[in-house]
Amino acid sequence: MSGHVLITGANRGLGYELLKVFHANNYVVFPLIRNNTALQRIREEFSERCYPIEGDVGLDSCKKNIELTIKKYTNKIDILINNAGIPGVEYQIDKVNTSEVYDLFNIHCLGIIRTVQATLPFLFNSSNPRIINVSSRLGSLSKMASGEFKDRHFSYSYRIAKAAQNMLSICLHNELNSKGIHVSVIHPGRLKTDSGSSDADMEAFEAAELIFKWIQTLNKENSCQYVQPFFKELKW
Ligand SMILES: NC(=O)c1ccc[n+]([C@@H]2O[C@H](COP(=O)([O-])OP(=O)(O)OC[C@H]3O[C@@H](n4cnc5c(N)ncnc54)[C@H](OP(=O)(O)O)[C@@H]3O)[C@@H](O)[C@H]2O)c1
């Protein structure tokens, strides 16, 4: 059990814990990190089988960096984990500013378009290629429509961006599954990270271990899931 995995936003929070668990399980890891100081820290911490990519998923330039770095070391990526994300702030329509909504849409949704475009040729060289998009329970249209979070102060920008990310993931599944690629979406749990919500109840390393085990069960036959791994299936 090993392979090549690219994880975006891997310098802290859930991404960092995923990096640790994949690396500990002998994977060749490609952490994508936008901050150069953090990138150097990761380079020093993981001296073997770890090839950091400097990149901001909010910018088109990350595509070139992804392609060049992967090409230096391999011709295949088995697993792409789109984890990078930022929280939003404004939860009242009269306060919402469109630049916040744009920023979150850009990172959570367009960022995935960029990383998929850059890694697709390498995914096609894998015998079991998987794309995992780290979404949220807050991306669920069904949950929102049922009023589940009606009285909570979750930002417009985050909910819109994660719902768009879910739709993008379904579009990717519809196009890529017949070509052998698994595409799924996860809600990782309510994690005690810098971006965690007020009802966080799980450590990021616990979620990372579950996500790692769950990813081992995936193949082209069980694509298009929206789940909290080993806990529950979510309604789109
Ligand atoms: N925490 C939760 O309870 C929870 C629940 C549901 C879903 N999620 C989702 O899980 C993912 C990880 O969340 P987290 O709680 O671990 O967040 P976090 O602790 O705030 O870490 C976010 C990571 O994403 C990186 N990042 C942000 N924007 C980026 C960009 N444009 N390009 C590259 N990297 C970028 C950050 O890098 P910097 O250090 O440079 O900022 C950081 O490494 C996110 O997609 C989040 O929406 C989290």
Residue with token string 């690629």 = 181
pLDDT band, very low/low/confident/very high, at 1 (cuts 50, 70, 90): low
pLDDT band, very low/low/confident/very high, at 16 (cuts 50, 70, 90): very high
Report the separation in Å between the CA atom of 18 and the middle of ligand 1, taken as the mean of its atom positions.
Answer: 12
pLDDT band, very low/low/confident/very high, at 198 (cuts 50, 70, 90): confident
Top pLDDT among 225 and 195 is at 225
- How far is it, in rounded angstroms, from Cα 30 to Cα 28? 7
Instruction: Quote the number of domains for the chain.
Output: 1
What is the pLDDT of the chain when averaged over all its residues? 97
CB of 101 shorter than 6 A to ligand 1 = no
- How far is it, in rounded angstroms, from Cα 87 to Cα 159? 10
- How far is it, in rounded angstroms, from Cα 181 to Cα 216? 14
- How far is it, in rounded angstroms, from Cα 185 to Cα 81? 10
pLDDT > 90 in the chain, percent = 97
Question: The domain spanning residue 61 has which CATH number?
Answer: 3.40.50.720
- How far is it, in rounded angstroms, from Cα 114 to Cα 133? 13
Residues 6+ apart with CB under 8 A from 133: 82, 112, 165, 166, 168, 169, 183, 184, 185, 186
pLDDT tens, position by position, 133-165? 999 999 999 999 999 999 999 999 999 999 999
225 CA to centre of own chain:
14
Q: How many helices (H) and strands (E) does the chain have?
A: 8, 8
pLDDT in the model for residue 150:
92
Q: What average pLDDT does the segment 22-34 reach?
A: 98
Find the angle CA(214)-CA(130)-CA(168) to the nearest 5 degrees.
Answer: 105
pLDDT tens, position by position, 32-79? 999 999 999 999 999 899 999 999 999 999 999 999 999 999 999 999
In the three-class reduction of DSSP (H, G, I as helix; E, B as strand; rest coil), residue 2 is classed as coil
pLDDT in the model for residue 193:
95
Pairing between β-strand 130-134 and β-strand 79-82 as defined by DSSP bridges: parallel
The answer on pLDDT for 219 being more than 80 is yes
| Helices of type H across the chain | 13-24, 36-45, 61-73, 98-105, 111-123, 141-145, 156-176, 204-215
Of 36, 40, 113, 191, the one to substitute when testing ligand 1's pocket (max ligand atoms within 8 A of C-beta) is 191
CB of 186 shorter than 6 A to ligand 1 = no
Report the separation in Å between the CA atom of 86 and the middle of ligand 1, taken as the mean of its atom positions.
Answer: 5
CB of 34 shorter than 6 A to ligand 1 = yes
pLDDT in the model for residue 180:
98
What are residue 228's DSSP bridge partners?
Answer: 232
What are residue 81's DSSP bridge partners?
Answer: 7, 132
Report the separation in Å between the CA atom of 201 and the middle of ligand 1, taken as the mean of its atom positions.
Answer: 17
Of 7, 8, 14, the one to substitute when testing ligand 1's pocket (max ligand atoms within 8 A of C-beta) is 14
Report the separation in Å between the CA atom of 199 and the middle of ligand 1, taken as the mean of its atom positions.
Answer: 17
Q: Whose CA is nearest to atom 29 of ligand 1?
A: 84
With residue 184 as reference, give the H or E element that holds it: strand 182-186
pLDDT tens, position by position, 100-136? 999 999 999 999 999 999 999 999 999 999 999 999 9
The answer on pLDDT for 2 being more than 90 is no
Residue 139's domain spans which residues? 4-233
